[in-house]
Structure 1
Amino acid sequence: MMVRQTIRRQVREARRQLSHAQQASAALRVVQHVAQDAYLADANKVALYLANDGELDPQPLIDWYWARNTQVYLPVLHPFSTGHLLFLRYTPNTTMTHNRFGIREPKLDIRLLIPKNELDVIYTPLVAFDARGNRMGMGGGFYDRTLSAWQQGTGPRPVGLAHNCQQLAAIAIDHWGIPLPELITPDQHWRF
Structure 2
Amino acid sequence: MHQDKMTRADFRKQIRTKRKQLSDAFQQSASQQLIHQLSRLPELDASQHIAVYLSADGELSTSAMIEWLWQQGKSIYLPVIHPFSAGHLLFLHYTPDTEMAPNRYGIAEPRLNKQLIIPTRQLDLIFTPLVGFDASGHRLGMGGGYYDRTLVPWFHNRSGAKPIGLAHSCQFVEQLPVESWDVPLPKIVTPDKIWSWEQSDA
TM-score band (shorter)? over 0.9
Indicate which of 49, 52, 56 corresponds to 1:48: 52
Render the CA deviation track for 1:36-78: whole Å, top value 9, x for unaligned. Answer: 1232244201000000100111111100110111000000000
Residues 7-156 of structure 1 aligned to structure 2 (within 5 Å): 7-152=11-156, 153-156=158-161
Give me the whole-angstrom Cα distance separating, in 1, the residues matched to 2:51 and 2:180.
Answer: 25
RMSD: 1.3
> Is contact 2:129–2:165 with CA below 8 Å preserved after alignment?
yes
Gapped regions of structure 2 (runs ≥ 5)? 1-5, 198-202
Give me the whole-angstrom Cα distance separating, in 1, the residues matched to 2:54 and 2:113.
Answer: 18
Normalized against structure 1, the TM-score is what? 0.96
Give me the whole-angstrom Cα distance separating, in 2, the residues matched to 1:80 and 1:37.
Answer: 35
Identity %: 48
> Is contact 1:50–1:104 with CA below 8 Å preserved after alignment?
yes
Give me the whole-angstrom Cα distance separating, in 1, the residues matched to 2:38 and 2:113.
Answer: 29
> Is contact 2:164–2:187 with CA below 8 Å preserved after alignment?
yes
Give me the whole-angstrom Cα distance separating, in 2, the residues matched to 1:10 and 1:160.
Answer: 19
Give me the whole-angstrom Cα distance separating, in 2, the residues matched to 1:98 and 1:20.
Answer: 23
Give me the whole-angstrom Cα distance separating, in 2, the residues matched to 1:97 and 1:183.
Answer: 29
Give me the whole-angstrom Cα distance separating, in 1, the residues matched to 2:176 and 2:8.
Answer: 9
Larger radius of gyration: 2
Number of residue pairs matched? 192
| Displacement over 2 Å in runs of 4+ | none
Q: Which moved more, 1:177-186 or 1:106-115?
A: 177-186
Gapped regions of structure 1 (runs ≥ 5)? none
Normalized against structure 2, the TM-score is what? 0.92
SS of match in other structure, 2:16: helix
What is the aligned partner in structure 1 of residue 166 from structure 2? 161
> Is contact 1:158–1:181 with CA below 8 Å preserved after alignment?
yes
> Is contact 2:19–2:58 with CA below 8 Å preserved after alignment?
yes
> Is contact 1:147–1:178 with CA below 8 Å preserved after alignment?
no
SS of match in other structure, 2:13: helix
